[in-house]
Chain A
Amino acid sequence: MASGLLGDAPIAALPGTAGARSGARRPGLRRLLGLLVPLGLLALWQVLASSGAISGRLLPTPGAVLRSMDTLFLGTRPRTLAGVVPYAGAGLDHLSASVVRCGVAWLLAVAAGSAVGLLLGLSPLFRDLLDPVLNALRAVPLFAWLPLVLIWFGIGEGAARALIFLGALWPVLVATADATARVPRAYVETARMLGSPRRQLWRAVYLPSALPEVLTGLRLSLTLAWTCVIVAELNGFTLGLGAMMNAARETGRTEQVIVGIFIFAAVGLAADLVLRLLTRRWVRWADR
């Protein structure tokens, strides 16, 4: 039967063609507008810092920050005593220490949060059992855990990972539980009617249906985990971006603190972008 007879016209273009993607690209010139504000701020910063209106101790010049960034990543690393936070040439070491610390704790939070979330979403019994406790725990401000975490784990790696884990846990858990509970009953019924055994439903229906919302939770949780890194590293570390920034603060090296801020922003943006790119193919169906 030819499709012409049936009068078909697809609603959107087929996947892979440009029309299928929502949100057309803005024209090039309009996109450049977005650069105006940062460039203006940079100019303002340069003027304020070099005119002497604000002391260099409070606001070093952009050039000084850039040179400091260069020293951090490309400088030669001197021999340092144990317990001293290195700066020159130690950029990659700080970066990788923070990224590994954050990544490990985040992955643990994702595993635990999505497993418990799935359980809550699938089983009304678990929901009734755990909801009050989880809501109470969720109401505790994240950094209120810090003293307790330090007592339990002692200053160091364990406490840092525990704090990041706690910060990253809730968004995943809540998003997974909500999304799973909201999976339309019609999908579940269709799957059962087509022959899916009950024990396969979570993989065949619940997970794919909930995935877009779960991934939003994952992105939020990654951002929070990265935020926790700086707090987690304030004490007891010689390697890590947070440790580096804290040492810079103690020695009055404002330009190094600002370098840290830029690295934090860049890594946070990059991680979010990578996460979105890696998961895009599974959630394309839900694109608006």
Chain B
Amino acid sequence: MTGELAAHGLHRSFGDLLVLAGVDLLARPGQVLSVLGPSGCGKSTLLRLLAGFEAPTAGQVLLDGVPVGGPSPDRGMVAQAGGLFPWLSLRDNLAYGPRARGAPRDAVRRTVDELLAATGLVGFAGALPRALSGGMRQRAAIAQVLANRPPVLLLDEPFGALDAQTRLRMHEWLGTLLAERPTTTVLVTHDVEEALLLGDRLVLLSARPAAVVDELAVPFPPHRGRAVLADPDFVRLKADVLERVLAG
């Protein structure tokens, strides 16, 4: 399987402000890599570099060994507020990527129908994004990116703006979705529970300027549901990781 995303010694500064001080990452094919760090540590900047929206001051990003340039459908990114175009219906939003890349009409329709079903939004195909609730919108934004079948999915606090209950539902939904279509995923978050629930591996960043301070495998079976939240080992690990994040 391909879709190995690696970052080597990523530096990024804005003027005199050093935001990333040599970040190394390896997202393994088909796995979810959670990136956890204190607020304002440069997580979003890191993801924007991985997506290619910005260039690193030093270092490089490699997809399957090939350096990445600008943004590309190979690395689908979803931000906290989602990327849906407010003037397009849900169906046209999901079809945007395949159409932009010149996919045949039939293939576009099949892809969109399948994703509408996977997101539970079949009844909303004709709706504008503003008619959808926050959770629906974020599912749609993820589906919009997945319509291109990207080898890599980049998620920047995708559920950060949602209430706790909706967020938990979204975690289970995303876990199922990624189990059905394995996609190398980098999930940037400040939510420890989210990072442990969805991640196969976990990277801890320091406070700004960000560097990797620790990396660990999440020792729970993949595609874990919310039942794991009550597991004493999970509770202990969560408390431990939270302490380390807060310690910066």
The reply to whether the CB of A190 lies closer than 8 angstroms to some CB of chain B is yes
Given known A-B contacts A6-B169, A186-B79, A195-B101, A11 and B86 have beta carbons under 8 A apart? no
Q: Which of A13-21, A116-124, A150-158, A170-178 contacts B (4 or more CB under 8 A)?
A: A13-21
- Taking a contact as CB atoms under 8 Å apart, the answer to whether A10 and B136 are in contact is yes
- Taking a contact as CB atoms under 8 Å apart, the answer to whether B71 and A15 are in contact is no
The reply to whether the CB of A133 lies closer than 8 angstroms to some CB of chain B is no
Partner of B81, one of A186, A195, A282: A186
Who on chain A is nearest to B144 by CB?
A: A194
The reply to whether the CB of A131 lies closer than 8 angstroms to some CB of chain B is no
- Taking a contact as CB atoms under 8 Å apart, the answer to whether B148 and A285 are in contact is no
Among A249-288, those with CB < 8 Å from B are 282, 284-286
- Taking a contact as CB atoms under 8 Å apart, the answer to whether A193 and B130 are in contact is no
- Residues on B with beta carbons closer than 8 Å to the beta carbon of A200: 100
- Residues on B with beta carbons closer than 8 Å to the beta carbon of A191: 85, 96, 100
The digit string for B71-82, where 1 denotes a CB below 8 A from any CB of A, is: 111011101010
Who on chain A is nearest to B84 by CB?
A: A190
- Taking a contact as CB atoms under 8 Å apart, the answer to whether A20 and B133 are in contact is no
Min CB gap A116→B, angstroms: 23
Given known A-B contacts A10-B133, A190-B83, A191-B100, A5 and B70 have beta carbons under 8 A apart? no
Given known A-B contacts A2-B120, A193-B72, A193-B76, A8 and B136 have beta carbons under 8 A apart? yes
Given known A-B contacts A11-B132, A12-B131, A195-B148, A1 and B173 have beta carbons under 8 A apart? yes
Among B89-143, those with CB < 8 Å from A are 96-97, 100-101, 117-124, 126-128, 130-133, 135-136, 139
- Taking a contact as CB atoms under 8 Å apart, the answer to whether B96 and A1 are in contact is no
Partner of B120, one of A1, A13, A282: A1
Who on chain A is nearest to B118 by CB?
A: A1
- Taking a contact as CB atoms under 8 Å apart, the answer to whether A194 and B148 are in contact is yes
Q: Say whether chain A's binding surface is mostly helix, strand, loop, or mixed.
A: helix
The reply to whether the CB of B166 lies closer than 8 angstroms to some CB of chain A is yes
Partner of A3, one of B73, B86, B120: B120
- Taking a contact as CB atoms under 8 Å apart, the answer to whether B128 and A285 are in contact is yes
- Taking a contact as CB atoms under 8 Å apart, the answer to whether B120 and A192 are in contact is no
- Residues on A with beta carbons closer than 8 Å to the beta carbon of B71: 189, 192-193
The reply to whether the CB of A99 lies closer than 8 angstroms to some CB of chain B is no
The digit string for A175-190, where 1 denotes a CB below 8 A from any CB of B, is: 0000000000011011
The reply to whether the CB of A48 lies closer than 8 angstroms to some CB of chain B is no
The reply to whether the CB of A204 lies closer than 8 angstroms to some CB of chain B is yes
- Residues on B with beta carbons closer than 8 Å to the beta carbon of A27: none
Who on chain B is nearest to A8 by CB?
A: B136
- Residues on A with beta carbons closer than 8 Å to the beta carbon of B127: 10, 14-15
- Residues on B with beta carbons closer than 8 Å to the beta carbon of A194: 73, 76, 83, 96-97, 100, 144-145, 148
- Taking a contact as CB atoms under 8 Å apart, the answer to whether A195 and B123 are in contact is no
The reply to whether the CB of B51 lies closer than 8 angstroms to some CB of chain A is yes
- Residues on A with beta carbons closer than 8 Å to the beta carbon of B139: 6
Min CB gap A282→B, angstroms: 8
Given known A-B contacts A5-B120, A189-B71, A193-B76, A10 and B169 have beta carbons under 8 A apart? no
A125 to B72, CA, bound (A): 26
- Residues on A with beta carbons closer than 8 Å to the beta carbon of B14: none
Min CB gap A231→B, angstroms: 38
- Taking a contact as CB atoms under 8 Å apart, the answer to whether A208 and B126 are in contact is no
- Taking a contact as CB atoms under 8 Å apart, the answer to whether B126 and A193 are in contact is no
- Residues on B with beta carbons closer than 8 Å to the beta carbon of A186: 79, 81, 83
Give me the interface of A with B, judged by CB distance under 8 Å.
1-3, 5-16, 20, 186-187, 189-197, 200, 204-205, 208-209, 211, 282, 284-286
User: What are 5 residue pairs bridging A and B, where the CB atoms are less than 8 Å apart in the complex?
Assistant: A1-B117, A193-B72, A194-B144, A197-B100, A285-B86
For the complex with contacts A186-B83, A197-B100, 5 further pairs of A-B residues with Cβ separation under 8 Å are A1-B118, A193-B76, A193-B145, A194-B100, A194-B148
Q: 8 tightest A-B contacts by CB?
A: A190-B83, A3-B120, A194-B97, A193-B71, A195-B73, A195-B101, A195-B100, A285-B87
